[in-house]
Amino acid sequence: MSGGANPTGPGAGRAGGEPLHGPTGGHAGLGPGGHPAAAAAFVRDEARAHWHDQALWFVREKRDRAASLVPDWEELREAASAIRAHTRGRLADYLEEFERNATARGAVVHWARDAAEHNAIVHRILSERGVRRVAKSKSMLTEECGLNPYLAARGIEVVDTDLGERIVQLAGEPPSHIVFPAIHRKREEIGTLFHAKLGTPEGLSDPTKLTEAARHHLRERFMTADAGMTGVNFAVAETGGIVVCTNEGNADMGTHLPRLHVACMGVEKVVPRLADLAVFLRLLARSATGQPVTTYTSHFHGPIAGGELHVVILDGGRSGLLAEPAFRRSLACIRCGACMNTCPVFRRSGGYSYGYVIPGPIGSLLGVARDARAHASLPFASSLCGSCDDVCPVKIDIHGELLERRKDLARRGIVPLRKRLAMRLVGWVLAHRWAYELGGRLARVFLRRAPRAIAYGPWNAWGRRRELPAPPAESFRDTWRRTRGARRG
Amino acid sequence: MADDARRAVLDALRGARAPPAAAPDLSRLGARFPDLPARLAEAVAAVAGTLVRVPDAAALAGAVAALAARLGATRVCSAVAGVPGDVALDALADPHELEGIGLAVLPGAFAVAENGAVWVPTAGLRHRGVFVVAEHLALVVPAAEIVNDMHEAYRRIAFPGAGFGTFIAGPSKTADIEQALVIGAHGARSCAVFLVG
């Protein structure tokens, strides 16, 4: 992490605590307008959208600098992709090997088919031991399962301890990014929130002082938690260990004080050998934040002395995704967030416009895999520019899979009627040369002659925030016909 | 019920029929640095730590004492032979009593030149969490124990039984508020690496 300057766009002084994600307080999918409607709401505040764009581009640039300093970067990506492909081919075997070795080192392994089973298992472990307060470090999987509200409804307090996650938890919001959960919030807004919730002085917005306040607040929670919960970055079949990476040290604060540690992981988190970790750890932090490695890369083999370690392994639709040849590679994701930071759509539309726990390009793939109807608009929230593929440390063909998913949704009839009809019309025009030529001719005349109010009317989505290029006097085809390709001096 | 879920998940994964693929050869990956201590010093600085070179073990105690004085750390806990402390880790019955330790001095097995991380196995420690609860951290690594990269690092790590070990690269940090780097989020507010010899 190089630190340094921060993007502070125009409008950086805006403060307040109004929710930016709609009233649900969770990732309950989007309204009927899908991603376009949610994104339109985000870009309405132009200054803020610009600031968000810059904040993420800043991270993207840090990632570029870090990657460029590693001479074997491309070989590392190849190796990571190959390890994942190899593991997918024997996933059940490796999970059994992990279970065997984890058990031999004193951990207890649990299996869950879906979120409901996952939550019930975690609740049972906690409630049987009289746990009232849990210190939890970042876990996208528990967000996916809706674990926090599930436990809260049963009288167990879950304290999110990653600073960004604590901020959004205090604000009653879900994370808007998987690495920077509160990246959509400005320092003044966080200052207002901390003033209300943690009693910091009014108007305090210095990140160092706000972080210090959070440190004291969360220390108290760590000292009084009955159990620690974490996600799992990697599970190692060969040794039965789990690896958790943080910069803040919150996973360690949460798991070295109480006697109970519950770790939750998806089936795709397993790697075969300890040596494989070297590949992923050289890629992960550089891709995520531009650091050479996270501050703490903690390897848990068995429980703390005299305590318990429980590992809950969730399928949650992953086996279904594994069965889809066109989409199974998205299971390789190591949750670095690089595809979000580089995505022109994510940067300008914000994490909440996706309505899924994992936003951005990879989230669009995972969300649709989980529930195609609820997230049908997401594969279209992409320009298919392919920047995500270029930065992906495990070389997932993200834009290719997004395109495949569009076709898949169309085949299954899960595309809005308007888009279906429009595509049919365009397909017909492109298949008939005379219609294509006539269409071009009419469009050129229309755009030249029509009054602006009509040419830029509500029908013209492309002209909404930008000027259309001046229409040429004749088409390329006309020019060719006129000159017959005659050579010019 | 529990066995049903286990069986169902494993069956579903096998039923997915993902094609077999060979595990890749990782032997050609890695970074090589001609001057390991110099590179390590750069890498530690890049992760906001400080590297202090100490000529020998005899000079270590003085160097650590100077650090403690500079930090104003009153309760010092040391797990490094020859470095005195005023808190005995073994005397603490409960890990919550780690709270308030000003400086923890811990042995690192080796350091990684590529990224400034130090491998800290906690097998010899009564309370494995001391590295994160202490306000400041000092890691002691013999100068001969520097590896180039993470590939070399994992060739030196084994987990024959239960245990906890962690790579530590600099002090605790966060950038969760507007990308501003802040040192000292939850764990150590500073991290000094003493390279001995």
A282 to chain B: which residues are within 8 Å by CB? 114-115, 149-150
Q: Do B12 and A281 touch (CB under 8 A)?
A: no
| Distance separating the N- and C-terminal Cα atoms of chain A | 57
Q: Judge whether residue B96 has pLDDT over 60.
A: yes
- Residues in B closer than 8 angstroms to A72, CB to CB, are 28-31
Least confident of A72-76, A101-105, A446-450, B113-117: A446-450
What is the C-alpha to C-alpha distance for residues A53 and A342, in angstroms, rounded to an integer? 9
User: What is the maximum span of chain A, computed from C-alpha positions, in angstroms?
Assistant: 88
Nearest CB partner across the interface for A248, out of B16, B116, B185? B185
Q: B2 is written with which tokens?
A: 């529990």
Contact A275 B155 (CB under 8 A): yes
Q: Do A253 and B163 touch (CB under 8 A)?
A: no
pLDDT tens digits, one per residue of B9-58: 999 999 999 999 999 999 999 999 999 999 999 999 999 999 999 999 99
Residue range A53-89, pLDDT digits in tens: 999 999 999 999 999 999 999 999 999 999 999 999 9
Among partner residues A2, A76, A89, which is closest to B19 by beta-carbon distance?
A89
Q: Which residue of chain B is at minimal alpha-carbon distance from A186?
A: B178
Dihedral angle sign, alpha carbons of residues A263, A268, A273, A278: negative
d(CA A353, CA A176): 9
Residue A12 scores a pLDDT above 60:
no
Residues in chain A within 8 Å Cβ distance of B6: 111
**Alpha-carbon distance B9 to B20, whole Å?**
19
Q: What is the ipTM of this complex?
A: 0.98
pLDDT at A2 over 60: no
Is any Cβ of chain A less than 8 angstroms from the Cβ of B114?
yes
Whole-structure pTM value: 0.93
Inter-chain CB proximity B187 and A281 less than 8 Å? no
Q: What's the mean pLDDT when you consider all of chain A?
A: 92
Give the best residue of A247, A269, A308, A313 to mutate against chain B (max B CB count within 10 A): A247
Better-predicted residue by pLDDT, A366 or A463: A366
**Pairs from A356-361 (Cβ < 8 Å, separation ≥ 24):** A356/A27, A356/A29, A357/A27, A357/A140, A357/A143, A357/A144, A357/A174, A357/A175, A358/A140, A358/A144, A358/A178, A359/A176, A359/A177, A359/A178, A360/A177, A360/A388, A361/A388, A361/A398, A361/A399, A361/A402
Distance of CA A423 to the CA centre of its chain: 29
Interface of B with A in 75-104 (CB under 8 A): 95-96, 98-99
Could you report the per-residue pLDDT of A119-174, keeping only the tens digit for each?
Answer: 999 999 999 999 999 999 999 999 999 999 999 999 999 999 999 999 999 999 99
Interface size A-B, in CB pairs within 8 Å, comes to 277
State the Cα–Cα distance between residues B26 and B155, nearest whole angstrom: 12
Asked whether the beta carbons of A60 and A20 are under 8 A apart, the reply is no
> Would an 8 Å CB–CB cutoff place B65 in contact with chain A?
no
* Across A103-114, average pLDDT: 98
